[in-house]
Amino acid sequence: MTNVKILIEGYAKEIENGWLASSTTTLVQKDGVNIIVDPGINRKLLLDKLAELNFSPQDIDYVLMTHFHPDHNYLAAIFENAKALDDELIYENDKETKHRGVVPRTDLKIIQTPGHEKFHASLVVPTQEGVYVIAGDVFWWRDNEKQKTDRDSLMQHQDPFVKDKDALTASREKILEIADYIIPGHGKVFKVEK
């Protein structure tokens, strides 16, 4: 059985001279493997949420970083027993190897979804309720934005930090084809309108 649990709903609020932001952090459990996707940057909140589930950082096997912005990956190192994953590699201490598009010891697919950043990954998680895609910043909203989730709005939603608009469009199309539910980098999980 596969479990998907959102530990922290990502937030992104512009403040004077910067941002108050941390990514959505998701716990995925599959075949006895515990995976954190995007541990974020809010240490106290993350540790509190893990403790509520009777988890400690030592219980996590893998940390998937969708991309390398600190609001998504800053806390990866607190999971001292975990191997880190990105869009193509596994990091175990100072050793890097390729993961071949799956989280080791599972059948969960890691797909490349560039655009917001050149190197960006999303995790595809089939469950009994449907397929979740943990999409990082392929989709994200500021706290004060209305989260419109119809297909046209999703495809046209402006990302002020986009590195490659054409790649982002292709990544959004790919995810919308796969997903029944999308967990965005900042904002609420939503059901994909088919």
Mind listing the pLDDT tens digit for each residue in 124-155?
999 999 999 999 999 999 999 999 999 999 99
- Average model confidence (pLDDT) for the chain? 97
Q: What region, left, alpha or beta, does residue 50 occupy, with left being phi > 0 and alpha being psi -120 to 50 degrees?
A: alpha
CATH number at residue 87: 3.60.15.10
- How many structural domains comprise the chain? 1
Domain of residue 87: give its range: 2-191
- Percentage of the chain surpassing pLDDT 90? 99
The pLDDT confidence band at residue 107, using thresholds 50, 70 and 90, is very high
The pLDDT confidence band at residue 1, using thresholds 50, 70 and 90, is confident
Distance between CA atoms of residues 36 and 61, nearest Å: 8
